[in-house]
Amino acid sequence: MTERTVLTGARVVLPTGVAEGGRVTIEGDRIAEDAPREAKELDLTGHWIVPGFVDIHVHGGGGASFSAGSAEEALTAIRTHRAHGTTTIVASTVTGDLDDLARQAATLAELTEQGDLAGIHFEGPFISAHRCGAHQPELLRDPDPADVRKLVDAARGAARMMTLAPELPGGLESVRLLAEHGVIAAVGHTDSTYEATLEAIEAGATVATHLFNAMPSLLHRAPGPIAALLEDERVTVELINDGTHLHPAALQLAFHQAGADRVAFITDAMGAAGMSDGMYPLGPMRVEVKDGVARIADGPTAGSIAGSTLTLDTAFKRAVTIDRLPVEDAVRALSTTPARLLGLSDRIGTIEPGKDADLVVLDEAFGLVGVMRKGEWLVKPEVR
C-alpha cells in the first residue's frame, strides 16, 4: 500500500482561500483526499504551504545555462531552481545561430520527454534590434515563418513558447504559425506600436514577455505595446519582481489592470542565479554580476540588464512583504496562472486532491524552508 503523509497545522493556500490549521494529505506522488487512515504526520504549525512555483521564463542557474546545449548543465540549473521552490520549469534559450538553437532544442527536448522540464521557450532571435537588451545584435533576424518552423520542429513537441517582435517582416505570419502549432506566441523585445500589438493579439499572441522591459514606454499619445497587452483579457503578462527590473508602482499598475489571473511572475534568471557576484556566460555573451544585478560586460550592448539572478522564492517573499500583495494573489502569479497558461492546470498550480504533490513550505516571515516535488522532499522542513 502506498505510504501516506499528512502535513498538519499550517496555513494552506487553497483555490478557495487560506485554510488556517489546514491539512494536506500526500499519497505517493499525488495530493490525496483526507481520510481516516494510517499516515505519518508532520506538524507544520506556524508555517505556510503553497503550491510549487512554475517558472515559464528562465535561462539558467547554479552557474549553468540552458543555452549551453549540455544536459548536465541544464540539470544543474534545474536543481538550483527546484531548491528555491520552482517545481515546474520551462527552459529559455537566448538568441543564437539557428543551427545552434536547434541543437540546444534537441537536448532540452530530451529533458522534457524525461519529465525534468515542462518545455522550451525560445527568446530570440526574432526580436527587434532596437530593443535587443542582452541579445547579440548581429545574430538577430526577421521572423521568417520557415525559420520559426525549423525551431519548433527541432523541439520535437517540446516548444511551449516563442518570443518575437511582431512588427518585423513575417511577424504576424509567424504568430499565426505558432498558434496553429500549439506554441505560445509572446510579444517581447519589440518596438511595436499599440496598433501593431493589437494585430499580433488578434493573430494569436497571448503572452507579454517581461512586460515593461525591452519595449517602448507607456506614453499618453503613443501607448505602445504596454497598453495593448495590459488591456486585452486574452494576454498573460510576465513580470520580473526582483526590485531591479520594475518599480513597485509599475507592478501595482499591472496587477490593478490585469489582475492576478493574468500575471505570471518569472525569474528571467541567467546562470548566476543562486551564485555569487562574478563573470558568467549568457549564450555567446559575457555578463558581469555585481551586487546581484546582471549586466552585459562588453560589446555594443554593454551595461544592458542581462536577465536576473532571481529565484521565485525571493519573488514570492518580495510580493507579499514589500509589494503588499495578498498571499492568494502571489500564489496565483507564481503557480496557478502560469500552470494554466501551459495547459497543465489539471496537474499543478493549486493544492487539490488528484494533483501532483508539488508544494512549498514557508515560515511565518515567508522564507522558504521546504520543497516537495511529486511527493518527494527536495528540501525537508526542519521542525521541532
Q: Are residues 309 and 274 in the same domain?
A: yes
d(CA 19, CA 329): 15
d(CA 209, CA 121): 11
Q: What is the pLDDT of residue 174?
A: 98
Please tell me the least confidently modeled range out of 22-26, 284-288, 327-331. Answer: 284-288
Q: Are residues 117 and 192 in the same domain?
A: yes
pLDDT exceeds cutoff 90 at 146: yes
Total domains in the fold of the chain: 2
Q: Are residues 17 and 148 in the same domain?
A: no
In a domain, 360, yes or no: yes
In a domain, 384, yes or no: no
Whole-Å CA distances, 311 to 83, 136, 307, 308, 327 = 9, 25, 12, 9, 17
Can 268 be counted among the known catalytic residues? yes
d(CA 315, CA 313): 5
Look up the CATH number of the domain holding residue 244. Answer: 3.20.20.140
296 neighbors 303 (Cβ within 8 angstroms) = yes
Which band of pLDDT confidence, cut at 50, 70 and 90, is reported for residue 310?
A: very high
- Among 253, 266, 272, smallest CA distance to 76 is for 272
- Amino acid type, 41: E
pLDDT, tens only, 222-247? 999 999 999 999 999 999 999 999 99
Largest CA distance in the chain: 66
Pairing between β-strand 368-373 and β-strand 53-58 as defined by DSSP bridges = unpaired
Q: Are residues 160 and 187 in the same domain?
A: yes
The string of DSSP letters for 127-176 reads S-GGG-TTS-GGG-----HHHHHHHHHHTTT-EEEEEE-TTSTTHHHHHH
State the average pLDDT for the chain: 95
pLDDT exceeds cutoff 70 at 3: yes
Q: Are residues 256 and 362 in the same domain?
A: no
Look up the CATH number of the domain holding residue 357. Answer: 2.30.40.10
Q: Pick the catalytic residue from 55, 268, 313, 323.
A: 268
| 123 assigned binding-site residue | yes
Percentage of the chain lying above the pLDDT 90 cut: 87
In a domain, 30, yes or no: yes
| 127 assigned binding-site residue | no
| 105 assigned binding-site residue | no
Q: Are residues 165 and 118 in the same domain?
A: yes
d(CA 274, CA 76): 11
Q: Are residues 33 and 181 in the same domain?
A: no
Q: Which helix (H) or strand (E) holds 30?
A: strand 30-32
pLDDT, tens only, 26-75? 999 999 998 778 889 999 999 999 999 999 999 999 999 999 999 999 99
Which band of pLDDT confidence, cut at 50, 70 and 90, is reported for residue 384?
A: low
Q: Are residues 108 and 226 in the same domain?
A: yes
Q: Are residues 246 and 356 in the same domain?
A: no
Q: Which residues of 218-254 are buried (b: 16+ CB within 10 A; e: fewer)?
A: beeeebbbbbbbbebeebbbbbbbbbebbeeebbebb
pLDDT, tens only, 281-298? 877 778 899 988 988 888
Q: What are phi and psi of 280, to 5 degrees?
A: -140, 150
In a domain, 88, yes or no: yes
pTM of the predicted protein model:
0.96
Residue 75 C-alpha cell reads as 540539470
- Amino acid type, 236: T
Q: Are residues 285 and 159 in the same domain?
A: yes
Q: Are residues 210 and 118 in the same domain?
A: yes
| 245 assigned binding-site residue | yes
Helices (H) and strands (E) in the chain, counts: 10, 21
| 210 assigned binding-site residue | yes
Q: Which domain holds residue 120?
A: 53-341
In a domain, 17, yes or no: yes
Q: Residue 25: exposed, middle, or buried by beta-carbon count in 10 A (0-12, 13-18, 19+)?
A: buried
Cis peptide before 169 (omega within 30 of 0): no
Q: What are phi and psi of 116, to 5 degrees?
A: -80, -30
Q: Are residues 59 and 36 in the same domain?
A: no
| 149 assigned binding-site residue | no
pLDDT, tens only, 67-116? 999 999 999 999 999 999 999 999 999 999 999 999 999 999 999 999 99
Residues in the chain: 384
- CB atoms near residue 169 (< 10 Å): 10
